[in-house]
Structures are given as C-alpha cells and as structure tokens.
Amino acid sequence: MDAAMAELPGPFLCGALLGLLCLSGLAVEVKVPTEPLSTPLGKTAELTCTYSTSVGDSFALEWSFVQPGKPISESHPILYFTNGQLYPTGSKSKRVSLLQNPPTVGVATLKLTDVHPSDTGTYLCQVNNPPDFYTNGLGLINLTVLVPPSNPLCSQSGQTSVGGSTALRCSSSEGAPKPVYNWVRLGSFPTPSPGSMVQDEVSGQLILTNLSLTSSGTYRCVATNQMGSASCELTLSVTEPSEGRVAGALIGVLLVVLLLSVAAFCLIRFHKERGKKPKETYGGSDLREDAMAPGISEHTSMRADSSKGFLERPSSASTVTTTKSKLPMIV
C-alpha cells in the first residue's frame, strides 16, 4: 500500500490525503447564506452561521464587524467564544448573543437585537480549532438595516418669471434602501407639457422650463422606499417680467428715500450741535492784534484817485503828532 501511494503523482496524493482528512473530521468548514440579509430598524437580526469540525479544547469562535466600504482587514471583534466562555465586546456588546450557547454542536448563529442604522455592514463568522486545518474557516454576511425615509426638505432655485426656468429639489437625510423621489402638482391645474418638465427620481430634482402663469401652484415631493414614504410641499409663484421690473424700481426708490432721510437727519443734528457751542468773547485782559496803545492815535487818510480808480493809503500809514503848547509861560 505504501509503495503504491509512493508511485502516485504529487497532486493526486495531496487530494487523496485531503479527502481522507475531511472524512476523518480534521477540517474546519464554515457555511453562511449567500444572499444579503435585511432587517427593519429596531428589530432583531439573526446571522446564520454553521460549521463542521471535531470540537476540542482548542475550539474558538469569533464574530467581527466591518463598516460598508472598508476592507476586511479593518474589522473589529464584537463577540468571542473560547475556553468554554462567551465574551461580547465593543459597542454592540449589550445587543449581541449566540442563538445556541455554547456553540459546540455546529451552530454559531449570531443574534443582534434592536438594530440601528449603524449596524449596516459586513459580519465575519470565523471558527478556529487547531490542530484542524482550514478549508473554509471564515464566512461573510452582509446586513442592511431597513430605515424609512425621513421627512424630505423641499427647495427651489432659478428664475420664476414668465418664460424662465426653475429647479425644484427634494432630499431625505435618512432612508435605507435609498428612497426614490416623485414630484406631483396638487389641485386641478393642467399638468405641464412633458417637454417643459424633466424629473430625476434618484436625485429628487424637477426642472421646469418655459414657465407660464399657469405653472404657478403647489408641488409635492414624495420620498419612498420599501419601509414607507414621507413628503414635503413647495409653492411656486410665476410673475410677469414687468412686475419684476416694477418691484425692482420700487425697491430702488425706497432705498434712495431712506438714504436722503438719513442724510437730512444727520445735517439737522449737526446744525443743532453747532448752535449749542458758546460764542467767543474778549475779556478785559485779552490783547488784540489791531488794538492801539494808549495815548497814540492813528490818523489814516484815504483819498480817491480819480485817474486810478482805487483808494490809496498815504506812504506814512500812521502819524503820531505831538503838539507843543503855544501859550506863553508865566513865571
């Protein structure tokens, strides 16, 4: 028998040995559902995981979690089972447990209660049982927490005069799967022609072109997914272009009047403040530049020069005259 096996090719020999080991129970095989799992918000999720191996003292089970869009290498543990003890860990520790504890009969299903939107992601079920080797000791399960759409926010932008174009937008901050959006016009008004209305159900945008007065009205946006729906409303008012110009001119006039009023108020206040200032007075001790010394008189003669046509001051602008008494002196 040994000589016959020695003559077999290498690959065939390895395959034969693997088959013998699997039949003897020395392999770890983990099985999980291939389809993604969906659970409504606040409910309990059961992540099914089964395995086959010969459970011994070295048997260990680990559940871990990785957020959407991140690699498996960034997963973090949420539950351990080793040495016959269960160890929940991390932010989900109070909400995770095993469907069967201890998980020593081939069932390692995880229960997650009161699921949150942050529970959406990939869960890893890994079984270790040395010295058993691994054929597939790891299973991946994708969980989506279903959330109804939150109340959307409606907004509008663009020119709302006749002949113009405007965009109506609608968006929900929450909702899983991502909601789709549908705009409807309320009332019995005629529906805009298809050529003047373009709607995007994914982004929630409604574009209205070539507006007319009949485009005015109330528009409702409905956000919907498999968990429910929510809506918001917006009123659109289309005006004549002349009305817009008149409104602009009126606003301009009001601004000018306001500025003039402020200027007049400031001017009046300035004059009032100036009138309150005391006038300058000259005291007896003040010396003026044009004052004359006592005992000296200034005689200024101004004569008219008919040939020159202007007043001329004599070369001696001021003359000081001392008059001697001609009365005879009596001894």
What mean pLDDT comes out for the span 119-139?
87
pLDDT given at position 245: 59
How many whole angstroms separate alpha carbon 99 and alpha carbon 106? 12
Mean pLDDT, the chain, whole residue set: 78
What mean pLDDT comes out for the span 167-193?
88
What mean pLDDT comes out for the span 10-26?
43
- Top-level class of domain 153-236: mainly beta
241 band by pLDDT with thresholds 50, 70 and 90? confident
Q: What angle do CA 45, 50, 52 make, to 5 degrees?
A: 170
Q: If we measure between CA atoms, which residue out of 142, 174, 176 comes closest to residue 67?
A: 142
Q: Which residue has the higher pLDDT, 245 or 186?
A: 186
Q: Which DSSP string corresponds to 216-278?
A: -EEEEEEEEETTEEEEEEEEE--B-HHHHHHHHHHHHHHHHHHHHHHHHHHHHHHHHHHHTSP
How many whole angstroms separate alpha carbon 172 and alpha carbon 150? 5
Question: pLDDT tens-digit profile of 94-105?
Answer: 999 999 999 988
**What pTM, to 2 d.p., does this model score?**
0.61
Question: pLDDT tens-digit profile of 284-319?
Answer: 444 454 545 455 444 444 444 444 444 444 444 334
199 contacts: CB under 8 Å, gap ≥ 6:
182, 183, 205, 206, 207
pLDDT given at position 320: 37
Q: If we measure between CA atoms, which residue out of 137, 121, 114 comes closest to residue 76?
A: 121
202 contacts: CB under 8 Å, gap ≥ 6:
180, 181
pLDDT given at position 43: 97
Q: Can you give the residue ranges of every domain in the chain? A: 29-146, 153-236
Architecture of the 29-146 domain: Sandwich (2.60)
Domains 29-146 and 153-236 fall in the same CATH topology: yes
Amino acid at 87: Y
Residue 20 near residue 1 (C-beta atoms within 8 A): no
